[in-house]
Chain A
Amino acid sequence: MVKTNFISYTSTAVQPAKLESLECETGNYHSFCPISCVSWLYQKLEDSFFLVIGTKTCGFFLQSSMGVMIFAEPRYAMAELEEADISAQLNDYNELKRLCLQIRNDRNPSVIVWIGTCTTELIKQDLEGMAPRLEQEIQVPIVVARANGLDHAFTQGEDTVLAALANRCPQVSRDTVKPKTHPPLILFGSLPNSVANQLTIDLNSFGIEVAGWLPSKNYSELPALDQTCYVCGVQPFLSRTAATLMRRRQCQLISAPFPIGPDGTRAWIEAIAKALQVPIDQNKLLERESENWLELEEMEDGLPSIRGKTVFFMGDSLLEIALARFLIRSGVVVQEIGIPFLDQRYQAAELQLLQQTCKELDVTMPVIVHKPDNYFQLKRIQALQPDLVITGMAHANPIEARGITTKWSVEFVFSQIHGFTNAGNLVTLLSKPLSRHNSLAELGWTEIV
């Protein structure tokens, strides 16, 4: 069984590219804790409640990083572990039951998602074991995701939640499946509803139908999955979800570049069409892409304002490969691609497109540094003096004070950047800080340490 599945994986996948310029450093880098995913997932899954089981440290991070959102009575909370929980003086099952009953009574969610943290890992709290029992008892589905900082960085939190949700998707029932021109296609990755609609419509216009999204708007609308389904990711950080969909749900994974930038979106549609054996109008697709490039060229603060600039990715969101690929195609010089974790199989098609882009434009393939060391990176930044550093907030202000323009990397996660429609946003995110830098440089305000 497993073997067949593995073959099905390789049959639709692109072979992992051979990377010559891949380096691994010490892993001393700054990133958000993966529990931050609750902030966008609770908004996406409208009938959910996220319960983060951790300590004050987790709670402090969430409330500080979420800023204003915390006051809007969000559908998430901390189950704050006290000393007695750690030392097993209290029965954790009873404690969690008490809290979940309270949540059920106050908020009446369709699903409670437990987010396991470093602490639950260290004290070996058996969340996966407790959840089914408690689920039976309180009659609310409980999904467990271990989004902890021991194993994951930032956006990988979403990966752990979606992988857990993938197991909850219903089996396709034979009665409801309607014959279509191609096998059912499920897209995975949490995007704002409008962006998900845009991508769906883009696919529709090439005769490809989307059978469902993981996650859906509501827990009760999770897409049905079985071995006839094809799945494709829209985000580069979803390798665990991809593995779960293949191995546990027997789906066929379409390995494609990610729909970021006109080039990525075109390649993504192409790969999906090829895997589903849907004949598409290649000219129409190329036309759509070149129209999109033209729009980026002509918009205010568009491509001309970023072309020829040098960019350095310190790495924290795992979007870096796709962003760098788009930037190189736009004529930007990428000096380093830092990335917390690189799954060369899941990102194979994206890596291949990156290599192909470099080859076509005759530029050197940038160094990819996974598990980077921020200290060494800052030394390299000092030496290279890039025009733009894409980095976390811990470093942004100090780098700015040294006269180097920065872009806060988390904004790429929170902004709409997918598909043809949002390529403009992507360019603006990069060109804004550069144009501000130019205006201030005229005043002589560059280095202010």
Chain B
Amino acid sequence: MSAASLQAASLHRGSSSSSSSSKKIHYASGRSSCRANSARAMKLAYWMYSGPAHIGTLRIASSFQNVHAIMHAPLGDDYFNVLRSMLERERDFTPVTASIVDRHVLAEGSKSKVVEGITRKAAEDLPDLILLTPTCTSSILQEDLESFVENASRNSGMSDVILADVNHYRVNEMQAADRTLEQIVRFYVDKATKEEGYKPKKTKRPSANIIGPTTLGFHHHHDARELKRMLGEMGIDVNMVTPEGGRVTELKHLTDAWFNIVPYRETGLMAAKYLERQFDMPFTDTVPMGILGTNDWITSIQAIVNEQAKALAPEGEEVLIVDFDDYSKRQTLHVSQAAWFSRSVDCQNLTGKRAVVFGDATHAAMMTRILSREMCIRVVCAGTYARHESDWFREQVQNHCDEILITDDNTQVADMIARLEPAAIFGTQMERHVGKRLDTPCGVISSPVHIQNFPLGFRPFFGYEGANQISDLVYNSFALGMEDHLLEIFGGHDTKEVITKELSSADDLIWLDSGIEELGNIPGFVRGKVKRNVEKFARHFNIHEISAEVMWKAKEKAGKF
């Protein structure tokens, strides 16, 4: 790291004490701005945070029961099946096949192949719905897939056929998932209301739909189970969970519920907004993550239920008012351990420790708030790769962190982590690897993830049990408090090797033996940082030889390394 960036690092640290209005907001250079006007150029990429659009569509399709997706794609694009089969350890065959685009298709067009594929699948598996899924390849071919679907639906028997309305080059995995879910919900709800004359039969008791849990979602199964448990305790029936595990033919019953719950920013909002527009169904998009988040979520539900109770009650009948305050207080103070944990002396050691957070909008925003508000940890930077949610994200975190980073370029995130040198990172699998390289612990809080983030045990991130899980994750990520002290007193685990990593170039500086020895007393995980700060100090005061005394002086001047 150059001296200039060191200076930049110290500047950021300095500015953090100033008012929150002067927050630095970083955007990835070039690509983020003026996307509509300027052509996006060919990009050199090693890694990406969100997948291509068709992955989002397939995640929705394979979340439902008895829905089959047919991809219009070349051989090898059905890698989604491997992901689902391996990451989710699925016991069933993934209901996704490819209508393979090969040379013959390029010559003759794919109409007959697509239509045959759909007809064949309708006869073989009798799915409720066949979803024709475009890919980057079919986007370029520009065939009239809509007309293929019309053609095929004449021979598709009992199966409905629709074309997923996503553009590969305009939307990413998350946006495509949101859009596809809305499209399917709209298709079946419209069909029921228009063709079958279905009218919402509102349930007697308060009830809700949970919209959003999908296959290959980060801890989605566990989250859905925890939300259902809490709703049950609050006396609210779960009308439907969609899309995971549901049937499309049941989607018309979505309108029977009193309201919708959209716990993830990434999927479900479009469907919920459609239901609100068409059927006056209110929804809550509060994220029930962390103790405070969960309490906010319960408060929002209380408001909606009471409002709906009044609206739905037959005239003259007494309206039942719900009050969940006791419930959330009891859960917060006695059932969940997270609030007590943040109070306990153990957590004192975490106070003021520096953390970086990066992930999807939902998890990164809520994690930032949990760290900052519930655990008194200093979030030096919070970031997300969900550019399309950047406004929401900024609003959520702006008073809880020093810097905000919105980018989908993993090297920018890595550079930011290297510059800020946090004590722990909370991010995706990519940040975990950055952490490995920089010797910084990392807790994984968001997709994209590996198979180890699809645990067999019960690991929600939402609700009161989720808050417990998050507390464990945070606590285990930082070096344990006593271990931390002991390392400082006794000079670290690895006294043999003095400087483990040469992180900065110090050709103009000479480390004297006493200085090297003193440096050896610094715990390994902060040694590089201390070394750089001392060197910076030495350069500033024109000191060429660093002894133990110089180090102590540097410590005095800096107040703290």
How many residues from B make CB contacts under 8 Å with A? Answer: 53
Chain B window 7-49, contacts with chain A (Cβ cutoff 8 Å), 1 for yes, 0 for no? 0000000000000000000000000000000011111111110
Bound form: Cα–Cα A63–B52 in Å: 12
**Among the listed stretches B93-101, B186-194, B368-376, B464-472, which one makes contact with chain A, having 4 or more residues with CB under 8 Å of it?**
B93-101
Contact A149 B47 (CB under 8 A): no
Q: Which residues B381-396 have CB closer than 8 A to chain A?
A: none
Residues of A contacting B41 with CB < 8 Å? 82, 84-85, 90, 95, 98
* Distance between Cα atoms of A96 and B41 in the complex (Å): 10
A29 vs B78: C-alpha distance when bound (angstroms): 9
Cβ of A418 under 8 Å from chain B: no
Q: Which residues of A contact B93 (CB under 8 A)?
A: 378, 395, 398
Known: A60-B48, A80-B42, A86-B140. A394 touches B75 (CB 8 A): no
Would you call A27 and B47 a contact (CB within 8 A)? no
Residue A16, interface by CB 8 Å = no
| Contact of B352 with A by CB under 8 A | no
Report A-chain residues with C-beta under 8 Å of the C-beta of B354.
none
**Considering the complex, which residues of chain A in the window 255-297 have a beta carbon less than 8 Å from any beta carbon of chain B?**
none
Contact between A77 and B46, CB atoms less than 8 A apart:
yes
- Distance in Å: Cβ of A193 to nearest Cβ of chain B: 26
Cβ-based interface call for B506 (8 A): no
Given A55-B52, A65-B82, A150-B102: A32 and B76 within 8 A (CB)?
Answer: yes
In the assembled complex, A213 has its CB within 8 A of some CB on chain B: no
B42 to A95, Cβ gap below 8 A? yes
Distance in Å: Cβ of A351 to nearest Cβ of chain B: 24
Among listed B84-92, B478-486, B545-553, interface-contacting one:
B84-92
- B93-131 Cβ-contact flags toward A at 8 Å (1 or 0): 110011011110010000000000000000010000000
Contact of A151 with B82 at beta-carbon distance under 8 Å, contacts A80-B42, A82-B40, A395-B93 already known: no
Give Cα A64 to B172, complex, Å: 16
Q: Is B327 interfacial (CB 8 A cutoff)?
A: no
Q: A449: nearest residue on chain B (CB-CB)?
A: B91
A148 to B75, alpha carbons, bound, how many Å?
A: 9
A397 and B91 contact, Cβ closer than 8 Å, known pairs A67-B450, A70-B46: yes
| Interface stretch (choices A115-123, A204-212, A224-232) | A115-123
Answer whether residue B55 sits at the interface, using C-beta atoms and an 8 A cutoff: yes
Which residues in window 59-101 of A have CB below 8 A to B?
59-61, 63-65, 67, 70-71, 73-74, 77-86, 89-90, 92, 95-96, 98-99
Assess whether A401 is interfacial by the CB under 8 Å rule.
yes
- Chain A min CB distance to B124 (Å): 7
A1 CA / B293 CA spacing, docked (Å): 78
Question: When the two chains form their complex, are residues B86 and A61 in contact, meaning their CB atoms are under 8 A apart?
Answer: no
Given the interface contacts A31-B76, A61-B79, A84-B39, does A397 sit within 8 Å of B46 by beta carbon? no
- CB neighbours (8 Å) of B46 from chain A are 70, 73-74, 77-78
CB distance from B102 to the nearest CB of A (A): 5
- Residues of chain A lying within 8 A (CB to CB) of residue B39: 82-84, 89-90
User: Residues of B contacting A130 with CB < 8 Å?
Assistant: none
Q: Are B85 and A96 in contact (CB under 8 A)?
A: no
Q: Does B490 reach chain A (CB closer than 8 Å)? A: no
Option from B82, B169, B433 in Cβ contact (under 8 Å) with A392: B82
Asked if residues A398 and B85 are in contact (CB atoms below 8 Å), the reply is yes
Q: B136 to A56, Cβ gap below 8 A?
A: yes
Q: Tell me if A59 and B82 are in contact (CB < 8 A).
A: no
Known contacts A56-B52, A119-B140, A398-B92; A63 and B76 CB within 8 A of each other: no
- The complex places the Cα of A30 from the Cα of B78 at a distance, in Å, of 7
**Interface assignment of B333: CB less than 8 Å from any CB of chain A:** no
In the complex the two chains form, is A153's CB within 8 Å of B75's CB? yes
A85 to B39 alpha-carbon distance, docked (Å) = 9
The answer, among B44, B76, B139, B450, for a CB contact under 8 Å with A61, is B76
Of all chain B residues, the one with the shortest Cβ separation from A61 is B79
Interchain CB contact under 8 A, B101 and A57: no
**CA separation between A175 and B206, bound complex, in Å?**
91
Given contacts A86-B140, A149-B76, A378-B93, A78 and B44 within 8 Å (CB-CB): yes
Q: Which residues of A contact B86 (CB under 8 A)?
A: 393, 397
* Contact of B200 with A by CB under 8 A: no
- Closest chain A CB from B434 CB (angstroms): 9
A243 to chain B minimum Cβ distance, whole angstroms, is 18
Asked whether B278 is an interface residue with its Cβ less than 8 Å from the other chain, the reply is no
Contacts of A34 in B (CB 8 A): 76
Q: Which of A1-56 contact B (CB under 8 A)?
A: 27-36, 55-56
Distance, CA A74 to CA B98, complexed state (A): 30
Query: What B residues does A123 contact at CB under 8 A?
Result: 140
Question: Once the chains bind, are A401 and B76 in contact (CB under 8 Å)?
Answer: no
Please measure, in the bound complex, the distance between the C-alpha atom of A325 and the C-alpha atom of B100, giving whole angstroms.
30
Residue contact A394 to B48, C-beta cutoff 8 Å: no
Q: From residue B435, how far is it (CB to closest CB) to chain A in Å?
A: 11
Name B453-498 residues within 8 Å CB distance of A. Answer: none
Q: Would B168 and A59 count as touching, CB distance under 8 A?
A: no
Contacts of A414 in B (CB 8 A): none
A413: Cβ under 8 A from any B Cβ: no
Beyond A118-B101, A394-B94, A401-B92, whether A149 also contacts B77 by CB under 8 A is yes
Q: How far is the CB of B410 from chain A (nearest CB, A)?
A: 10
Looking at A28, A36, A79, which has the most chain B CB atoms within 10 Å of its CB? A28
A67 to B449, CA, bound (A): 10
Interchain CB contact under 8 A, A118 and B137: yes
Residues of A within 8 A of B52 (CB): 55-57, 60
User: A448–B433 Cα gap in the complex (Å)?
Assistant: 35
Q: Once the chains are docked, how many angstroms separate the CA of A448 from the CA of B83?
A: 20
Residues in A with CB closer than 8 Å to B74 are 33, 118, 148-150
Q: Does residue B51 face the partner (Cβ distance < 8 Å to A)?
A: yes
Nearest residue (CB) in B for A60 is B51
Task: Check B82–A394 contact: CB distance below 8 A.
Answer: yes
Q: B44: which A residues are within 8 A, CB to CB?
A: 77-80, 99, 102-103
Judge if A219 is at the interface, Cβ distance under 8 Å. Answer: no
- Any B CB within 8 A of the CB of A396: yes
B342 at the interface (CB under 8 A from A): no
A346 within 8 A of B: no
A154 at the interface (CB under 8 A from B): yes
Query: Is there an interface contact between B90 and A397, defined as CB atoms closer than 8 Å?
Result: yes
Interface centre among B75, B83, B168, B433 (most CB of A within 10 A): B75
Contact B42–A99 (Cβ < 8 Å): yes
With A55-B168, A82-B40, A102-B44: A119-B137 Cβ-Cβ less than 8 Å: yes
Nearest Cβ on chain B to A127's Cβ, whole angstroms: 13
Show the binding face of A for B, using Cβ within 8 Å: 27-36, 55-57, 59-61, 63-65, 67, 70-71, 73-74, 77-86, 89-90, 92, 95-96, 98-99, 102-103, 118-119, 122-123, 148-154, 375, 378, 392-398, 401, 448-449
Additional A-B contacts beyond A27-B75, A59-B48 (11; CB < 8 A): A28-B97, A31-B75, A55-B136, A73-B46, A90-B41, A103-B44, A118-B137, A149-B73, A395-B81, A397-B90, A401-B92
Partner-A contacts on B (CB < 8 A): 39-48, 51-52, 54-55, 73-79, 81-83, 85-86, 89-94, 97-98, 100-103, 106, 124, 135-137, 139-141, 168-170, 172, 430, 433, 450
Ranked nearest first, the 6 interchain pairs of A and B with the lowest CB-CB distance are A33-B76, A84-B39, A149-B74, A394-B81, A401-B91, A95-B42
Instruction: Give 13 CB contacts A-B under 8 Å.
Output: A27-B102, A28-B100, A57-B136, A60-B51, A63-B47, A78-B44, A118-B136, A119-B137, A119-B140, A150-B106, A151-B102, A397-B85, A398-B90
